[in-house]
Amino acid sequence: MHKSLLSASLFALALTAPLAHAFEAGDILIRAGAITVNPKADSSSVKVDQGPLAGTNLGGKATMNSDTQLGLNFAYMFDSHWGIELLAATPFEHEVKLKGTALGSAANGKLGTLKHLPPTLSVVYYPLDSKSDFQPYLGAGINYTVIYDEHVGSEAQAKGFSNFEADNSWGLAFQVGADYMITDNILLNAQVRYIDIDTTATVENNSIAPGTRAKVNVDVDPFIYMVGLGYKF
3-state SS, the chain, equals CHHHHHHHHHHHHHHHCCCCCCCCCCCEEEEEEEEEEECCCEECCEEEEECCCCCCEEEEEEEECCEEEEEEEEEEECCCCEEEEEEEECCEEEEEEEEEECCHHHCCEEEEEEEEECCEEEEEECCCCCCCCEEEEEEEEEEEEEEEEEEECHHHHHCCEEEEEECCEEEEEEEEEEEEECCCCEEEEEEEEEECCEEEEEEEECCCCCCCEEEEEEECCCEEEEEEEEEEC
Is residue 125 within 8 Å of 79, Cβ to Cβ?
no
CA distances from 53 to 111, 112, 131, 210 (A): 20, 23, 66, 10
* Percent of the chain predicted with pLDDT > 70: 91
Q: Which domain holds residue 115?
A: 22-40+66-153+168-197+220-232
7 lies in some domain: no
Mean pLDDT, residues 34-44 taken together: 90
186 lies in some domain: yes
What are 88-106's pLDDT values in tens digits? 999 999 999 988 888 888 7
131 lies in some domain: yes
Is residue 182 within 8 Å of 230, Cβ to Cβ?
no
- pTM (2 decimals)? 0.83
Is residue 204 within 8 Å of 163, Cβ to Cβ?
yes
Distance (Å, whole) CA 120 – CA 36:
15
In which band, very low, low, confident or very high, does the pLDDT at 214 lie, cut at 50, 70 and 90? confident
Arithmetic mean of pLDDT over the chain: 88
Distance (Å, whole) CA 95 – CA 20:
47
Is residue 145 within 8 Å of 117, Cβ to Cβ?
yes
54 lies in some domain: no
Domain count, the chain: 1
In which band, very low, low, confident or very high, does the pLDDT at 15 lie, cut at 50, 70 and 90? very low
CATH number of the domain enclosing 133: 2.40.160.20
208 lies in some domain: no
76 lies in some domain: yes
What are 55-83's pLDDT values in tens digits? 888 888 889 999 999 999 999 999 999 99
pLDDT of residue 20: 56
147 lies in some domain: yes
187 lies in some domain: yes
In which band, very low, low, confident or very high, does the pLDDT at 4 lie, cut at 50, 70 and 90? low
> Highest-confidence range of 48-57, 75-84, 215-224, by mean pLDDT?
75-84
Q: Please report how many Cα atoms fall inside a 13 Å half-sphere around the Cα of residue 87, on the Cβ side.
A: 35
Distance (Å, whole) CA 51 – CA 39:
31
